[in-house]
Amino acid sequence: MTLHTAPRANAFAMSGSITAVFFFAALAAIALLSIFEQLGAPTPDIVAGFAGIMLVSFAVLAWAMRSGTAGDHLLASRSVSPVSIGLATATSWIGLAAFTLLTGATYRNGYDALALLIGLTGGLVLSLIAFAPYVNRVGSISLAGLFGERFGGPARLLTCLAVVVCAGCLFVAHLKLGSLIAAHSFGLPIELSLAAAVLILLMVALPGGVKSVTMVQVVLGLLVLGAMLIPLSIASWWTFSNPISQLAYGESLPRLAALEEQMIEKGVIDFNVFRPHLNPFLQIDSLNFCTLVIGLLAGTAAMPHLLARTQVSPSAASARLSCAWSVFFAVIILTAVPAYAALVKFDVYKLIAGQTAIADLPPWVARASHADTVRLWGVSTAMLDDVARATRAGATDSAAISAHLQANGSPFVYSWSQLQAPVQSALADVAKQSGPGQSAAQTWDHFKQSVLPAAATAGGGEGLTITNVEVNADRIVLAFPAISGMPGIATAVILAGVLSAALAGALGLLTTIAGTLSHDIHIALFDRNAPGARRVLGLRCATIAAAVLGAAVAFLYQGSLTDLIVMSFTIAAAVLFPALVLAVWWPRANAWGAVAGMIAGLATAIYYIAGTSEYAIGFAETWSGLTSAGADAMAEFGDLKGAGLAAEGDAQAAALANLQTQASGTLFTPGLANWLGIARGSAAVIAIPVGFLVTILVSLLTPKVSEAHRRVAMAMHDPRHEPVLPFEDADEGTA
Amino acid sequence: MRHGFEMVLGALMALTGLALATGLADVVLPQLPIGLGLAMTLATVGLLLMFDGALGRRSRSTQDQNTNLRTVRLATRATACLIALALVSPLLSGLLNLVSIQGFPLAYYIAAQGALIAFGLLAFAIARRQNGIDADQISSDEL
């Protein structure tokens, strides 16, 4: 212990000074680019310049953190300070989601989306209470390593599989979302943006493994924090004269509610999509709100890459503090999410409730339209720009323009095909008049005079309503500086923040996957006595393989990101959570119990998810006694099915499709096929008790744990226990 | 005395919660304005309290400063706090929304900020307490 104190103190101080240097470097870059902007540099150049400077500084930092020792590569030699780990964990965990999906969900669903914020933060606290410090005492590099020490070989292999799938799904989601945003912002094709992402990941992860990744994550975290808070504070200062937006936006909530009432009175509401912002349980009922929170709590606490992050703490006490700091930073970021949603919603609703005429549209609508965050009657000036490019290339009629949009990877192919002919020709006419050098203000004027009236007429001639003002809710943070009329450097900072969040998240997941593949499969199975250099080589190979494979899957995967995220959480909560609780807190739990419990949890979750989606009709009939729908609804369902089967041909197919819709419901709203009214998004809540029961029963029925495994269980609760890094001695001289 | 009270209270909460959840309470209290979620939470928090009280009694009867028991008790109480904080807003939203602070209806405020800030405080409090328990154990071993 005493031997380690001096280098650790140095490392703590080092991470502090790196953060400080980076902070001032970033400020200098912002100041420099602001001067360039004042001198007339266009916004895209400022954005690209800032992104470039940041990338170079990450590369330099990663190179400075290079190392040849296995201790650094696998665990950063357990020498990172709690505040740094907290910042790295929080921003890589919820950064990207906070910028995109969480703000989008809060904008669309109001109160109901807050379940996500509560669950994601609470999970970090649960990890602090139950897992992180105790796992830290074992000193294994991943969850699979811990289960290997505590339960032995078969449990290690099964956990490896669970960890790789669980972290892999999130890795693909981060890569996909991050590269889509980069591709959209820099006008790159998606292949190129994915390839760039892989190169950047390897550039950071290869030189020093977990050590360089953790240090880069700390500075990425700083950038994420700044990007999340600064634009919001400025906007809050402008609107409420209070820079602490989390306090200030409360004022806008009652006004938002008043606007909603006005909109209802004026009849500009479609009740299928409208959700009053402050009212609970319009999208999901209270039971599913609670189960969603519980599922997220368990999933976050057992999430393998978050537990791996706390392993770089020197001691259990330090791991506890780093968890507490991660909660602190997560709270700062997540309390900004509803503020963004409320501020943008307030502006949009003011527009609709005031029945603003086309000629009187305020300037922010022009900017939002230019960023394609708001579309009025299905059109935006961003779309006009793409159409103008097509007409300049010689496309004249609708089909030719559509073909040109498709060939250039424009995001407007589908929306163009949905427009009515008069709107298409109005767009094409305005596009022909506009030259390449035309300013955004001129484009907006033409757009307002010709395209919007045509689109409004085609849309039925009514004013603005909640359906014809479409807001791309997932992009509101990204477009926020542009919408509020801040200078281009603010857009650059926020984009850098979003991409940093994606990078930080992907890096953490990548090192966890690579560490599991190399250390818990290759080393544990085939090469137990490998010297440090071979361990480093193995880890580097695994990192390259995992990054390339992840990018390939992200390119090929066409399904929804939500499915990937739900799958990842379900595996963490249903498979890993019960086994982890019992591994840490119940010395009697043995390998048989753990393996049986993990399989039972997985099987239950899969059965419930598949049963309530693909096979919903059969599931509803089999479990009619357990459904929340009631006997009458089930009887009616049976009658409908009888009638449907009696029909023939198309009528039968239509009847069965209708039955399937009734039975399956959606991810967070149960259909007729359910147990006690729990939707399939919360399947983990059903699987967790099953996992606990099976693990406990099987552990009690099979022989007691072996002495070696029992010692590991005891060591987890022994404050004097210091883990040994088994590979440390073999590393000398390889740096 | 205190631990006994905690156990009895926990047992009552758990029983009430379970009775409400399984519908047994319908005989006495038909149409109670309380959902399945609230009933289950009541039962869970009650069970955790009962467990905590039982551990407390045991630690008193053995008369030694059993640190492992203190660790388990702290973790149990912290988990009960965590669940109660996480679910107080959705379960009591109707009641909480009668009050509003600085323009925030209370249920919305708790879900959007209050619970999160409380999580932050809880996290630091647990870290301090548990690190204190660990330090106690190390120093008592050295004596």
Express each pLDDT in A1-13 by its tens digit.
333 444 555 666 6
pLDDT at A3: 37
Express each pLDDT in A472-510 by its tens digit.
999 999 989 888 888 888 888 999 999 999 999 999 999
Q: Is A408 an 8 Å CB contact of chain B?
A: no
Q: Compare all CA atoms of chain B with the CA of A106 and give the residue at the minimum distance.
A: B112
Answer whether B91 sits within 8 Å of A719, measured CB to CB.
Answer: no
When scoring A127, A129, A329 by the number of chain B Cβ atoms within 10 A, the one with the most, hence best to mutate, is: A129
Partners of residue A253 in chain B, C-beta under 8 Å: 103-105, 108
Which of A130-139, A432-441, A459-468 is predicted least confidently?
A432-441
Q: Is B82 an 8 Å CB contact of chain A?
A: yes
Q: Is A85 an 8 Å CB contact of chain B?
A: no
At a CB cut-off of 8 Å and minimum separation 6, what does A39 contact? none
* CA neighbor of A426 nearest in space, from A406, A402, A446: A446
2-31 of A, contacting B, C-beta below 8 A: none
Q: Compare all CA atoms of chain A with the CA of B87 and give the residue at the minimum distance.
A: A290
Burial class for B11, CB neighbours closer than 10 Å (0-12, 13-18, 19+): middle
pLDDT at A733: 39
- pLDDT classification of B12: cutoffs 50, 70, 90: confident
The mean pLDDT of A431-450, rounded to a whole number, is 82
Partners of residue A676 in chain B, C-beta under 8 Å: 36
Checking if the pLDDT of A595 tops 90, the result is yes
When scoring A118, A313, A668, A718 by the number of chain B Cβ atoms within 10 A, the one with the most, hence best to mutate, is: A118
Long-range contacts, A582-585 (Cβ 8 Å, 24+): A582/A692, A582/A695, A582/A696, A582/A699, A583/A146, A583/A147, A583/A150, A583/A151, A583/A713, A584/A130, A584/A131, A584/A134, A584/A135, A584/A713, A584/A716, A585/A130, A585/B72, A585/B75
Partners of residue B131 in chain A, C-beta under 8 Å: 317, 320-321
- Name the phi and psi angles at A675, rounded to 5: -110, 120
Q: Is B86 an 8 Å CB contact of chain A?
A: yes
* CA neighbor of A131 nearest in space, from A249, A13, A300, A265: A300
Minimum-distance CB partner of A122 among B38, B86, B100: B86
The mean pLDDT of A85-108, rounded to a whole number, is 93
3-state secondary structure of A529: coil
Q: Work out how many CB contacts closer than 8 A connect A with B.
A: 148
Checking if the pLDDT of B9 tops 70, the result is yes
Express each pLDDT in A30-63 by its tens digit.
888 888 888 888 888 888 888 888 888 888 888 8
Answer whether B37 sits within 8 Å of A290, measured CB to CB.
Answer: yes
Q: Is B137 an 8 Å CB contact of chain A?
A: yes
Q: Is B142 an 8 Å CB contact of chain A?
A: no
When scoring A120, A124, A278 by the number of chain B Cβ atoms within 10 A, the one with the most, hence best to mutate, is: A278
pLDDT, greater one: A19 or A580 = A580
Q: Is B26 an 8 Å CB contact of chain A?
A: no
Q: Is B45 an 8 Å CB contact of chain A?
A: no
- pLDDT classification of A729: cutoffs 50, 70, 90: very low
- pLDDT classification of B24: cutoffs 50, 70, 90: low
Q: Is B81 an 8 Å CB contact of chain A?
A: no
pLDDT at A333: 95
Answer whether B122 sits within 8 Å of A328, measured CB to CB.
Answer: no
Answer whether A328 sits within 8 Å of B124, measured CB to CB.
Answer: yes
3-state secondary structure of B104: strand
Answer whether B37 sits within 8 Å of A254, measured CB to CB.
Answer: no
SS3 content of chain B, % helix, strand, coil (to 5): 85, 5, 15
The mean pLDDT of A165-179, rounded to a whole number, is 95
Answer whether B79 sits within 8 Å of A129, measured CB to CB.
Answer: yes
Minimum-distance CB partner of B37 among A287, A334, A719: A287
Other Cβ atoms within 10 Å of A349 Cβ, number:
21
Distance from CA of A252 to the nearest CA of B (A): 8
Does the interface ipTM go beyond 0.95? no
Instruction: Give CA separation, A679 vs A239, A284, A674, in Å.
Output: 40, 9, 7
At a CB cut-off of 8 Å and minimum separation 6, what does A283 contact? A109, A112, A113, A275, A668, A669
pLDDT at A178: 94
Minimum-distance CB partner of B141 among A119, A717, A720: A720
Express each pLDDT in A218-240 by its tens digit.
999 999 999 999 999 999 998 88
When scoring A120, A136, A283, A289 by the number of chain B Cβ atoms within 10 A, the one with the most, hence best to mutate, is: A289
> Are B102 and A254 in contact, with CB atoms under 8 Å apart?
no
Minimum-distance CB partner of B104 among A253, A287, A290: A253
What is the sign, positive or negative, of the torsion defined by CA atoms of A373, A376, A380, A383? positive
Partners of residue A720 in chain B, C-beta under 8 Å: 137-138, 141
Distance from CA of B65 to the nearest CA of A (A): 15
Q: Is B32 an 8 Å CB contact of chain A?
A: no
Partners of residue B80 in chain A, C-beta under 8 Å: none
Express each pLDDT in A308-336 by its tens digit.
988 888 889 999 999 999 999 999 999 99
Distance from CA of B74 to the nearest CA of A (A): 9
Answer whether B119 sits within 8 Å of A251, measured CB to CB.
Answer: no
> CB-side exposure of A271: number of CA atoms within 13 Å?
5
